[in-house]
Structure 1
Amino acid sequence: MPTIYDVAREAGVSAATVSRVLNGQRSVDPDMVARVLTAVRDLGYRPNAVARNLRRSRTTLWAVIISDIGNPFFTATVRGIEDVAQQAGYSVVLCNSDENPAKEETYVAAALSQQMAGVIIASSGSAKAAKSLLDSPVPVVAIDRELPRGTVDTVVVDNEAGARTATRHLMEAGYERIACITGPEGVSTADLRLRGYTSALSQAPSDGGPVVVRTDFREQGGYDAMASLLSSPERPDAVFVANNLMTVGALRCLADREVEVPREMGLVGFDEIPWADLVRPSLTTVAQPTYELGRMAARLLVDRIATPSGRPATVVLPAELRPRQSSAR
């Protein structure tokens, strides 16, 4: 493998000159720059990225820490991040916290120790991980979920409005006892979607107050939550489910119990699902602009790297109700 000294000999310059050219310094004579770049190309020389990063005290890598790599929501989101990162000269390292705060803390520690250029995080709710990020000089953008106990650049959808619209939709369809399956307490998406649900119920008469089951944002959690609702003395006739994986679990439970949707149980899920139009009955969802979420988060991170002292920005994108058969009584 060619070294910087091989490039220097080929170009007829010093190794220091080669280093200045590769680091983008403008004080080098243009003719020397051309000779160095020609030698680099001819020899196939690649700079030692680790050594360069140590000198710069930073890398050209972003850590993107997501809460569940198995959730289709993150597919387009990460694609949006990566597209902007590549255009800006950065590469993305994807980390899956698996909704596990301890695992998230490990990834945050690794990102900081490796001197990543920036971090984009969909927090699992770890206050320790959040504090580590807030105490560091590394630029941070929170995506999908707000970062606990701190203010950083943030990109989210209007979770409360989306949940309120979904619940009202079920009410307008004629359902009278509407339950909510949501995520863990303290996670912003779970709490805001619950708030939207209760807000909608409070604005119209219904048979009783809110019926809420909290679980873990996973498919099995949705299954178990739906099972508990079906076993309750006052079984609901509709359910708003606060994320896509829990919606899948809830549907699987209804199928196992032979509960007809939407005749016996109306259903609306938060987050679009790729096959929502293909199942029968088709699934009503609240869709998020997932690609745009990722793209906007990456743009905020690029801006934050360029202007570290700027005031944090919060971008709230709209969610869209997509009515289908599962909520048409």
Structure 2
Amino acid sequence: MVTIKDVAKKAGVSSSTVSRALSGKIPVDEKTKERVLAAVKELNYQPNALAKGLKEGVTGTIGLIVPNICNPVFPLVSRGVEDTARKHGYTLILCNTDEDINIEKECIQKLRKQWVDGIILAASGRDDSHINELKASGLPMVLLIRKLGDEVDAVVIDNKKAAYQAVRYLVDTGHQRIIAVIGDTTLPLYSERFQGYCQALEEAGIVPDPSLVIKVPDNESCYDAIYRLIKKGVKADAVFALSDPRALEAMRAVKDAGLRIPQDISVVGIDNLQFTPFLDPPLTTVSQPLYQMGEAAAERLISIIKGDKSPPYINVMETRLIIRKSVECRTSNKIMQL
């Protein structure tokens, strides 16, 4: 590897003169600068950006920690973060935790050892102690998808509202026996979506039926649970899935159980992922602005890195119902579908 000493030797100057010539911060006479630049070009010298950054107190890198990069939500979010980081001259380091809290903690420590300028964290939500420690360290950070009270900057959606929008639409179109496919309700994201499901039912005078609630761990499919429920003859006219991937599993289970969508059972999800318009039938879902959430998180982090001292801000981004063909209107008031 070519070093600054090699450049200095080639140009016939000291290493400090090479540094001054390349930084442009301290004047160097034109002929000397030309010799240095010629030596740099001839030797194909690449300055050590990390060393330079450490000397100046910045490295031009930010870390992004996500719980599962295979979840279709996170590639879109990550792209939003990376595009924004690149626009501002930052390099992104991506870490995947597989929803493991210990790996999440390790990622934070490794990124800090890499001297990143800040961290964007989509936390697992199973433990907050390491997030509080990171906040106390003073390293700029922004939470994404999942928040921690009002003490840390975050970019999120209103999960309760998103679920409410989906289930309220089912109720308004005449559905009453609605299966809910929910994750671990000890986690805030899933708990909030379950609350939205219950609120929409209760406002319509429908008592939530525990026998219609399916709780499935993140690493398991809901296919078998829905298939068995339908085959048992449980009366249901719709499925609310907490995410589009879950809705896709539900659609497969419904069809394999011999029922039609939406004539026999309607299905709705949350996300509005790219594949949803191409399902059979196209999926009605609640859209969350995933790419824009990544953009917003990166913009906020970079503003903090650059010295923004404003109080922590919880950026709650809007969701909206996307009506397609997976819900059948069972009332006389027909609702237009896309």
The answer to whether the superposition gives a TM-score over 0.5 is: yes
Q: Give the secondary-structure state (helix, strand or coil) at the position aligned to 1:277.
A: helix
Give the CA deviation at 1:296: 0.8
Give the CA deviation at 1:184: 1.9
Query: For residues 254-304 of structure 1, what are the alpha-carbon distances to aligned partners after superposition, in whole Å with 9 as ceiling and x for unaligned?
Result: 233223221222110111232222222221111111111111111011001
Q: Give the secondary-structure state (helix, strand or coil) at the position aligned to 2:251.
A: helix
**Cα gap change, 1:225/1:287 in structure 2, threshold over 3 Å: closer, same or farther?**
farther
Q: Give the secondary-structure state (helix, strand or coil) at the position aligned to 2:276.
A: coil
1-structure distance, mates of 2:36, 2:137:
38
Superposition pairs for residues 16-55 of structure 1, below 5 Å?
16-22=16-22, 24=23, 26-29=25-28, 31=30, 36-55=36-55
**Which shows bigger deviation, 122-131 or 268-277?**
122-131
Aligned to 2:214: 213
Give the CA deviation at 1:84: 1.2
2-structure distance, mates of 1:284, 1:97:
30
Aligned to 1:306: 306
Aligned to 2:146: 145
Q: Are the aligned partners of 1:177 and 1:207 in contact in 2 as well (CA < 8 Å)?
A: no
**Cα gap change, 1:231/1:47 in structure 2, threshold over 3 Å: closer, same or farther?**
same
**Which shows bigger deviation, 266-275 or 205-214?**
205-214
Runs (5+) with no aligned partner, structure 1:
none
- Please tell me the root mean square deviation across aligned C-alpha atoms, in Å: 2.6
Give the CA deviation at 1:328: 1.9
Aligned to 2:292: 292
**Cα gap change, 1:95/1:27 in structure 2, threshold over 3 Å: closer, same or farther?**
same
Residue type at the aligned position of 2:64: V
Give the CA deviation at 1:314: 1.5
Q: Are the aligned partners of 1:176 and 1:207 in contact in 2 as well (CA < 8 Å)?
A: no
2-structure distance, mates of 1:130, 1:83:
25
Aligned to 2:226: 226
Q: Are the aligned partners of 1:184 and 1:190 in contact in 2 as well (CA < 8 Å)?
A: yes
Aligned to 2:155: 155
The answer to whether the aligner puts 1:248 opposite 2:269 as a matched pair is no
Give the CA deviation at 1:204: 1.1
Runs (5+) with no aligned partner, structure 2:
330-338
Q: Are the aligned partners of 1:287 and 1:319 in contact in 2 as well (CA < 8 Å)?
A: yes
Q: Are the aligned partners of 2:269 and 2:286 in contact in 1 as well (CA < 8 Å)?
A: yes
2-structure distance, mates of 1:227, 1:20:
70
**Cα gap change, 1:240/1:90 in structure 2, threshold over 3 Å: closer, same or farther?**
same
**Cα gap change, 1:185/1:129 in structure 2, threshold over 3 Å: closer, same or farther?**
farther
Q: Give the secondary-structure state (helix, strand or coil) at the position aligned to 1:326.
A: coil
Residue type at the aligned position of 1:226: I
Give the CA deviation at 1:59: 3.0
Residue type at the aligned position of 1:169: Y
**Cα gap change, 1:223/1:133 in structure 2, threshold over 3 Å: closer, same or farther?**
farther
Residue type at the aligned position of 1:131: N
TM-score between both structures, scaled by the size of structure 1: 0.88
1-structure distance, mates of 2:287, 2:228:
26
Aligned to 2:111: 111
**Cα gap change, 1:50/1:265 in structure 2, threshold over 3 Å: closer, same or farther?**
same
**Cα gap change, 1:122/1:14 in structure 2, threshold over 3 Å: closer, same or farther?**
same
**Cα gap change, 1:233/1:268 in structure 2, threshold over 3 Å: closer, same or farther?**
same
Aligned to 2:198: 198
1-structure distance, mates of 2:229, 2:152:
38
Give the CA deviation at 1:117: 1.5
**Which shows bigger deviation, 25-34 or 273-282?**
25-34
